[in-house]
Amino acid sequence: MAISLTETAANRVNTFLEQRGKGVGLRLGVKTHGCSGMAYVMEFADEIDEHDTVFDDHGVKLIVDPKSLVYLDGTQMDYTKEGLNEGFKFSNPNESGACGCGESFTV
Amino acid sequence: MALLQISEPGMSTAPHEHRLAIGIDLGTTNSLVASVRSGEASTLADENGEHLLPSVVRYLENGEVIVGTKAQAALGSDLQNTIASAKRFLGRAVSEIKTLAGQLPYDFVETEGSVPQIQTCAGNVTAIEVSSEILKSLKERAENTLGGELKGAVITVPAYFDDAQRQATKDAARLAGLNVYRLLNEPTAAAVAYGLDQKTDVDNKVIAIYDLGGGTFDVSLLRLNKGVFEVLSTGGDSALGGDDFDHVIAEWLLTESQQTATQDEFLLRAAMLEGRRAKEALSDTAEVDVSLGEWQGTFNVEQFNALIQPLVKKTLMACRRAVRDADVAKEDIAEVVMVGGSTRVPYVRQLVGEFFDRPPLVDIDPDKVVAIGAGIQADLLAGNKPDSDLLLLDVIPLSLGLETYGGLVEKVIARNTTIPITRAQEFTTFKDSQTAMTIHVLQGERETVEANRSLAKFALRGIPAMVAGAARIKVTFQVDADGLLSVFAEEESTGVKTSVEVKPSYGLSDSEIEGMIRASMENAKEDVEQRRLREAQVDADRSLEALDSAMAADADVLLSEPEKQLLLDARVELVTAKNSENADTVKNAIKQLEKAAEFYVARRMDSNIQQAMSGHNITEFES
């Protein structure tokens, strides 16, 4: 079981955390929502729950709750630019389909 | 798949429901847009990596509209159809821009309405339309960058913008298809960018915002009180900026190269450009090679500092005035925030630091700091922060009030009250059977109508005929979060009502506002005297009115001729005293008249009681 992120993504996360001035890491998860079933959740984490799994990659703590971990296992996170837009991108091997907009997915 | 941003804990949004919000610094020369992504506030760049969008709009004959750098490039070739500095006419009336128009290349159209129009090859355009093109361009940039539709925007305006200018800014935003969360004062936005609204050790302390742009200088003193910024004073110079720095270097270059007598426009322009280049280079190095035509030389920091010293000193004098106007000590100032590209000049930072006796805040790019503050505020208003109860509030810069009898102003909402606010006050009729009342809305700090600024005048009609003082007229002032005013008047017993959306007589410059506030302080004593006098005069009128109506009713029945004469003499005394311009004299005369009329009042009372009882049996009154 593992979740990872690229160095670019790690650098961005660390910068954002530093600017925010607090937080222990990044919480990743999935929510049942959206037009195609599920949506990713990405939030600053101020605390780690006892049931959480923590992955350490490139100096960033990725915190995942047990329910989400099933859907996220093997995911790699990257930070990319598309035109003027920039942000985090998930490569999730569990994903079998996404809606047209790409904001939600099914497994 | 879509690109994601990091949210605050528990604040994740569902797909397609991202609360995308932007802050816009709509500037006279340049405009910017900023947003908070993954918790980080930053300005957004266009496809060329440029953050600043020149506030220039060019209209082409085929109806095409060009905004920004490309439009700016046409300023030399297609001046009449290329509009720059539209912010200067936003919310101004034709009459007010006449003075400006003389120096401007545009053809202003004489229109029926109060909004001035500029003639271009694509038709007539207003400053609102020009500004909306700038906003549209920034909105598009933001949507491309953030990858979705915007929920709302915060747009900054100078602290001295009046109702009309604020309304015009909102109209421009609406025209651009933006949902305006609110307008935010520029100095407040700068303070927010540095997070000063969140710092507890700054609470209740004074913050100075030193804003030196290309062509203007503004200084604002704010006091932070539990997350609310109160504008204590503003000041500045609308004709002093970094361009003047270029100018003094240009003059130096012309002198050194012995070309002072030149009329050659090309050479003069080259001198200005070289001046600017030298200025910018000296922010990082101590000496720079300069040239003008054939001439070559060097220019160093000491020379530069000596040249600009008088200009910087001028800004510090405005700072000194602002500190004095705010009635604070320099030691009370907790932070100094630097805004505007010209604050990059190290000597400016040094002198400002020495003046306020503390290093100014310079970490955030001074060109971007206002937009960044607006972006942070927009993010908060969009609901992306968990503790979003911490809403930043603004205050009204000048008191709002009503004209009352005697040409006095009754303040309904005091200056520096936080907005939004609704405040109601009751007024009454002055004369018997008065059926209409003029509601005259005024802005300013002085005690008399003529010393304040008239915003609107409207009439409440259909007041039922009653004795003076019986009608209850409730006048409600409502100022929304953007500082825009609505006034409602209602006679409470009958429910007759009327309202006005204030169409302010446009335009007050910051120096005028500053002047108005200063005048109220300087004339405070005189104003109080004036108010006492006017009040005494109103009392005198009331006494005269009462005496006249009483004598008209029953003088012939109740008074002998000598008694009548006695009262009439006292009446003449009071009329003379009323015109004496001395409150005490008037008050005395009122007392004299009241004393003289005592017996008459008593006699009238007796007579009234007798009349009331006549025809009744005494026992009826005992039960």
Q: In the numeric block, which tokens belong to residue A2?
A: 């593992």
Closest partner CB to B3 (pick from A41, A86, A104):
A86
Helix crossing, B524-558 with B561-578: angle to 10°?
170
Q: What is the CATH number of the domain that holds B584?
A: 1.20.1270.10
> Are B191 and B224 spatial neighbours (Cβ–Cβ below 8 Å)?
yes
Helices and strands, number each (H, E), in chain B: 16, 28
* A87/B4 Cβ within 8 A: yes
Q: Would B544 be classed as within a structural domain? A: yes
Q: Does A91 touch chain B (CB under 8 A)?
A: no
Q: Would B249 be classed as within a structural domain? A: no
**Considering B491, B522, B553, which residue would you say is the last residue of a domain?**
B522
- What is the Cβ-side half-sphere exposure of residue B495, based on CA atoms within 13 angstroms? 0
Q: Would B284 be classed as within a structural domain? A: no
* Phi, psi dihedrals of residue B470, rounded to the nearest 5°: -90, -30
**Considering B364, B394, B424, which residue would you say is the last residue of a domain?**
B394
- Would you call B293 helix, strand, or coil by DSSP? coil
Looking at the fold, whether B202 and B348 belong to one and the same domain comes out as yes
* A34/B38 Cβ within 8 A: no
Alpha-carbon span B206 to B323, nearest angstrom: 10
What is the pLDDT, as a whole number, of residue B595? 85
- The answer to whether the predicted template modeling score (pTM) of the entire model surpasses 0.80 is no
Q: Which residues make beta-bridge pairs with B23?
A: B34, B154
ipTM: 0.83
Kindly identify which residue of chain B lies nearest to residue A26, measuring between CA atoms: B6
What is the pLDDT, as a whole number, of residue B306? 96
Average pLDDT over residues A24-51: 82
Q: What is the CATH number of the domain that holds B117?
A: 3.30.420.40
* A98/B15 Cβ within 8 A: no
Reported as a pLDDT band with limits 50, 70 and 90, residue A7 is very high
Looking at the fold, whether B181 and B160 belong to one and the same domain comes out as yes
Q: Does A67 touch chain B (CB under 8 A)?
A: no
Chain B residue numbers touching A34 (CB-CB < 8 A) = 14-16
* B8/A88 Cβ within 8 A: no
Looking at the fold, whether B458 and B573 belong to one and the same domain comes out as no
Helical ranges in B327-432 per DSSP H: 346-356, 369-381
Looking at the fold, whether B387 and B448 belong to one and the same domain comes out as no
Looking at the fold, whether B66 and B162 belong to one and the same domain comes out as yes
Q: Would B2 be classed as within a structural domain? A: no
Looking at the fold, whether B362 and B422 belong to one and the same domain comes out as no
Q: Would B133 be classed as within a structural domain? A: yes
Looking at the fold, whether B311 and B407 belong to one and the same domain comes out as no
Distances in Å between the Cα of B189 and the Cα atoms of A2, B157, B539 are 43, 9, 48
Chain A residue numbers touching B38 (CB-CB < 8 A) = 12, 16, 87-88
Looking at the fold, whether B384 and B400 belong to one and the same domain comes out as no
Looking at the fold, whether B447 and B326 belong to one and the same domain comes out as no
Helix crossing, B524-558 with B598-613: angle to 10°?
50
Nearby residues of B217 by Cβ (< 8 Å), 6 or more positions away: B211, B236, B237, B238, B240, B241, B315, B318
Chain A residue numbers touching B6 (CB-CB < 8 A) = 13, 16, 26, 42-44, 88
* A42/B7 Cβ within 8 A: yes
* Phi, psi dihedrals of residue A90, rounded to the nearest 5°: -105, 130
Kindly identify which residue of chain B lies nearest to residue A100, measuring between CA atoms: B1
Cα dihedral value B345, B346, B352, B353, nearest 10: 150
What is the pLDDT, as a whole number, of residue B507? 44
Mean pLDDT by groups of 10 residues along chain B of 623 residues? 79 74 94 93 94 95 93 86 88 71 68 74 90 96 91 92 85 92 92 85 85 90 80 84 91 89 81 92 93 92 96 95 89 94 95 96 96 94 67 69 84 77 83 84 83 82 82 85 80 80 47 56 68 81 84 83 86 86 85 85 78 57 43
Q: What is the CATH number of the domain that holds B441?
A: 2.60.34.10
Query: What's the domain range around B479?
Result: 396-522
* B38/A16 Cβ within 8 A: yes
* B6/A42 Cβ within 8 A: yes
Looking at the fold, whether B172 and B146 belong to one and the same domain comes out as yes
Residue B270 DSSP one-character state = H
Looking at the fold, whether B403 and B388 belong to one and the same domain comes out as no
> Are B268 and B262 spatial neighbours (Cβ–Cβ below 8 Å)?
yes
Q: Would B261 be classed as within a structural domain? A: no
Kindly identify which residue of chain B lies nearest to residue A91, measuring between CA atoms: B1
Report the run of H or E that residue B460 belongs to, with start and end.
strand B453-460
What is the pLDDT, as a whole number, of residue B388? 47
Closest partner CB to B12 (pick from A15, A41, A89):
A41
Q: Would B11 be classed as within a structural domain? A: no
What is the pLDDT, as a whole number, of residue B505? 36
**What size, in residues, is chain B?**
623
**Considering B498, B522, B546, which residue would you say is the last residue of a domain?**
B522
For residue A75, the distance in angstroms to the closest alpha carbon of chain B comes to: 14
| B621 CA to centre of own chain | 63
**Residue keyed to tokens 């090309």:** B266
Q: Would B186 be classed as within a structural domain? A: yes
Query: Of the candidates B127, B22, B58, which has an alpha carbon nearest to the alpha carbon of residue B382?
Result: B22
Kindly identify which residue of chain B lies nearest to residue A102, measuring between CA atoms: B1
Looking at the fold, whether B100 and B110 belong to one and the same domain comes out as yes
Split into its structural domains, chain B has a count of 3
For residue A1, the distance in angstroms to the closest alpha carbon of chain B comes to: 23
* Sign of the torsion angle spanned by Cα atoms B119, B125, B128, B132: negative
For residue A33, the distance in angstroms to the closest alpha carbon of chain B comes to: 7
* Sign of the torsion angle spanned by Cα atoms B450, B451, B456, B460: negative
Query: Of the candidates B213, B200, B209, which has an alpha carbon nearest to the alpha carbon of residue B233?
Result: B209
